[in-house]
Amino acid sequence: MNASVLVTVEELQRTLGGDQPPLIFDCRASRGDESLPARRYLPGSLILDLERDLSAPPGEGGRHPLPSHDAFTATLQAMGVTPERSIVVYDDNGGQLAAARAWWMIARWAGHPAVRVLDGGMTAWTLAAGELVETAAEPGGRSQWCPAFDDQALIPVGALLERGGQLVDARALSRFRGVEEPLDPVAGHIPGATCRPCSDNLDGNGHFKSPQRLAEELPRAEAVTAYCGSGVTACHNILAYAVAGLPLPRLYVGSWSEWIRDPARPVATGD
């Protein structure tokens, strides 16, 4: 396991009682009629919401475009984030729902040096009989950290096909092939892409596969670009490359939901 990007339940439990415990962000995405106040949390968890904190409003840039530099800086400052304090992010689906997006935004894009994803997420914590609390925590105070954002980690839609290399689609194979499309009005994929469902990064227990196994399975090319439906699960594939110790793909954050907004852009179906 690459200790720089993943943390086990046991490792996290040991740090919670220390002098400088990590900031812990609950990144679980709300589903249907599920109510956030009804949830239970890891001790000290702050809520980092996909729609409110990790995305700008949907529009021309897709369903989950990135917030502006200023907006995300304000979010991080309000949460008390500083480079000196480590961060752990988690969700309830092995990082696929929003924890990997939070990791990518804080670590890769904003440049925080110590962000890790809880391997196995909420499920692993619960199975290990980790302590849970009834309410999320409140931020302990504002910080003054001003991240140096690295927009080279991104690739805009206009440069996507010009870049060359390999496009890697994190959606399920049925969506990639155009057999079904539950979220967007057009089915299919960007021509030339290969499908690597982000769920394939995990084993049967919801933990990341070994670095060796991931290195064998992940698509390799001189230049790799990750995308999905709206730039969320693509970050899970980027995280898998990090676990494997491989060069990180760039992120096409607008992904399929932006690509199809222009009917002149080509659409492929099948394999």
Q: Which of 27, 195, 198, 228 is catalytic?
A: 228
Nearest to 257 by CA among 55, 29, 49, 28: 55
8 and 248 Cβ atoms separated by less than 8 Å = no
Cα dist from 23 to 52, 83, 117, 223, 230, whole Å: 19, 11, 12, 33, 27
* 228 has catalytic annotation: yes
Instruction: Give the C-alpha separation, 10 to 96, whole Å.
Output: 21
Nearest to 125 by CA among 207, 47, 199, 200: 207
Cα dist from 9 to 14, 106, 112, 207, whole Å: 9, 21, 22, 11
β-strands 23-26, 166-169 pairing? unpaired
HSE-CB of 98 using CA atoms within 13 angstroms:
19
Catalytically active residues, by annotation: 228
